[in-house]
Structure 1
């Protein structure tokens, strides 16, 4: 099998999976994956700042502020005074926490349905391949927050996460 064919198959698979997750995971047509990721990241890092959220989402500061404003209006997030007068600390409301858990759980269930066609051996092989590819994508410790912005922390705890383990190794090196 040629390297280009493998790359092409991976690209087609990644694109279709991303499209299905995006399409099937929305409660309404205007909902974005950035909103879901924001809820998940804020849940991971209760009290994080807009700046930290912006870096994890890969959004500009302005886009992040607009997103947080929308999440606050929806009753999912609340902003509190941060460590200094210019910073805010972002926290999930009870409704925001429930929404984040539900969306991430549903995402895992949809992906679980997709891999049902694989044998247990093939799933172990896919785990190994996914771990190797994900580790290779971590070039700096802060990459982990972006890569894992839509991850289910219960399904892949930090101590088992290849992305976070690589980030820790980079920080200690």
Structure 2
């Protein structure tokens, strides 16, 4: 026999599935590209000098797949690679003006989908929802790498690291790590 808590879980599952589908469709349509390319645009636009290794962490894909994503962005005139050190071991992805334009469309499409979910919610309802979402996000972060993947389409101007529950969870797992989710010591991926 189903209980109210089972119903809550079922409703949550339906919302998560529906929102995922809407977000995927909206950002892919806005970018005119797959989800990985759309996420790469969003992250590279928000983090100046995003390294290939950090981009790989955000996308949750292999190194060769990350290289293919960046190759496609370069081929379309949306990004260029820059070496960050003399020995060429660390490479960053820098968006062109066209890449920044596409990234703004991706983030706007994401925001539009999410705004439609809560059209008439009160300040109190949003505060309760914020607390629940923060708790859910913290629970989802079972490993620091998961934080990158979860935040791959986030608008960091709205949820900066100092207020981010994902950042807090990652720092709790790696207390000796430098501040900031994207600060990766000794990164040497190209």
Name structure 2 gaps, 5 residues minimum. 177-190
1:21-170 residue pairs with structure 2 within 5 A? 21-27=23-29, 31-83=33-85, 84-170=87-173
Identify which range, 3-12 or 15-24, moves more after superposition.
Answer: 3-12
Q: Give the Cα–Cα distance (whole angstroms) in 1 for the partners of residues 113 and 6 of structure 2.
A: 28
TM (norm. structure 1) is 0.87
Name structure 1 gaps, 5 residues minimum. none
Say which SS state the counterpart of residue 159 (structure 1) adopts: helix
Q: Give the Cα–Cα distance (whole angstroms) in 2 for the partners of residues 29 and 160 of structure 1.
A: 28
* Higher RCO by CA contacts (8 Å cutoff, separation 6 or greater): 2
**What is the Cα deviation at residue 139 of structure 1?**
2.4
**What is the Cα deviation at residue 124 of structure 1?**
1.6
TM (norm. structure 2) is 0.80
Counterparts in 2 of 1:160 and 1:20: CA distance versus 1, 3 Å: same
8 A contact 1:79–1:91 mirrored in 2: yes
**What is the Cα deviation at residue 87 of structure 1?**
4.1
**What is the Cα deviation at residue 156 of structure 1?**
1.3
8 A contact 1:105–1:152 mirrored in 2: no
Q: How many residues align?
A: 173
Q: Give the Cα–Cα distance (whole angstroms) in 2 for the partners of residues 29 and 105 of structure 1.
A: 11
Q: Give the Cα–Cα distance (whole angstroms) in 2 for the partners of residues 124 and 9 of structure 1.
A: 20
Say which SS state the counterpart of residue 91 (structure 1) adopts: strand
